[in-house]
Structure 1
């Protein structure tokens, strides 16, 4: 079985999808501030808007709702590794607040598992939206009809500019398991080191993607130092299945924090789906009380960093 396709559904399902989502409550717009700041709005799962001035990035779009939010293999159930997991619908447990897609300048993809790029997002997003994608996923994204793809190779820098604001985008290796063989089965993805700049002001973000603090990942991070903001993926996915744990739990995130010493920690990839097994409530204890920089937020919340 091909890498990355191990958990994937056999095909896209048909979903009614509007061109623009209308939010039940006013969705945060782009940053409007006298002084530079970075606004991070978490929409659930690994989906965020990161806005600085006129520049907005969308991460890992997943827009499905309800009991059939997306279709993918079930890594939490026991299955024959030679045959692969059962393909099922996965339930979203929380409301999707909606977003104005016209605000988005670039997309960032960590990898193509459907809890990170679901069937509804595939049907809804403009095919010419500029997307940074891992090397392993470029061909598949092109096959879905997306035409403005930028391959994000590990360690390679891309600089985006708009309205006097710039962001440096550097892909960091993401290893989906601490077991190298399981990582190979699932396919390697990307985390991203982002540095936003507006004049003399700057703010660095390390968005981990689905990874663990493995030796390979920590070595790749050595040149960057301490990020202003660490955004880790939690959830403890897979801990009840034959693959073993394939997304971080609280103890793994605490290891990242101890190693990187970030200024702020904004955990995502928890609580949204039944797929996620470990609640985020364990993170404060794993941090051993060192929670001064911990931002625990619910979906739809915008956090501003100046």
Structure 2
């Protein structure tokens, strides 16, 4: 049974899990393109996405952690069929339906959506996320993490946690308590800063979360595509080594990684 991730760029990945294919946080704009972050703030893309590694005809659904320009940009809106299912937050669901996307499912925290195909079932559960510190979070788009569970004949085959653009919070320990062992975690890093405020995990928060979740495999994404990202991947990798974290596996744009790798 296949269980792979292909890294397209930023938070955009393709998850091939058994009979299912999911696309996460689609942002297809080239290097040099600008995206709007709200409140008059823009940022420019620094690296091209690996679009040749993406076959939209194979995608069953989109997992959208939140509706920000670096996670669902104009290029993606133009390319994606409006009938393609999108799993996202209730807030993003309302906005996307106004843009005539027809199959958007907004999941409140801890609620799930699932598909069944032959002997397999894929379940996506929305888990907590916090995009900003303290009251600043209320000014930003609602964000969700996702836990994706693949089952065959009623038996769990794989559990993947996608953090979304959350900051570290000890309450995220509820995730392994509810779901048990996490086989793989796609962790959104980058240390995004606007007006001096940290809005996504930097190297310190990223290693703290990895200790908290203890996945078998940790795959960092969302770390250097846009100018607002201030914490390089190398800092996270160095801190993870210093702290003895195992199973941390970086992935280059366009490459594919087996999520069952130790």
TM-score between the two structures when normalised by the length of structure 2? 0.91
8 A contact 1:57–1:105 mirrored in 2 = yes
The answer on 1:72 being equivalent to 2:27 is: no
The residue number in structure 2 matching 1:101 is 56
Structure 1: distance between partners of 2:104 and 2:196: 31
23, 40, 56: which is aligned to 2:5?
Answer: 40
Structure 2: distance between partners of 1:73 and 1:139: 18
The residue number in structure 1 matching 2:141 is 187
Q: Give 3-state SS (helix, strand or coil) of 1:66's partner.
A: coil
**Superposed, which structure 2 residues align to 1:1-306 within 5 Å?**
36-68=1-33, 70-73=34-37, 84-86=39-41, 88=42, 90-98=44-52, 99-177=54-132, 179-199=133-153, 200=155, 202-219=157-174, 222-238=177-193, 241-242=194-195, 244-287=197-240, 288-306=242-260
Q: Give the 3 Å change call, closer, same or farther, for CA 261–221 of structure 1 in structure 2.
A: closer
TM superposition shift of 1:144: 1.2
Q: Give the 3 Å change call, closer, same or farther, for CA 294–42 of structure 1 in structure 2.
A: same
The residue number in structure 2 matching 1:23 is none
Higher Cα radius of gyration: 1
8 A contact 1:50–1:57 mirrored in 2 = yes
| Unmatched 5+ stretches in structure 1 | 1-35, 75-83
Runs of 4+ aligned residues of structure 1 deviating over 4 Å after TM superposition are: none
TM-score between the two structures when normalised by the length of structure 1? 0.79
Structure 2: distance between partners of 1:135 and 1:243: 29
1:1-35 CA-partner distances (Å, limit 9, x unpaired): xxxxxxxxxxxxxxxxxxxxxxxxxxxxxxxxxxx
Q: Give 3-state SS (helix, strand or coil) of 2:234's partner.
A: helix
1:127-186 CA-partner distances (Å, limit 9, x unpaired): 000111201111110011100111211111222122433211100011002x22111111
Structure 2: distance between partners of 1:245 and 1:89: 15
| Unmatched 5+ stretches in structure 2 | none
8 A contact 1:92–1:273 mirrored in 2 = yes
Q: Higher RCO, 1 or 2 (CA under 8 Å, sep at least 6)?
A: 1
Aligned residues: 257
Q: Give 3-state SS (helix, strand or coil) of 2:212's partner.
A: helix
TM superposition shift of 1:253: 1.1
CA RMSD, 1 decimal = 1.9
The residue number in structure 2 matching 1:26 is none
TM superposition shift of 1:40: 0.6
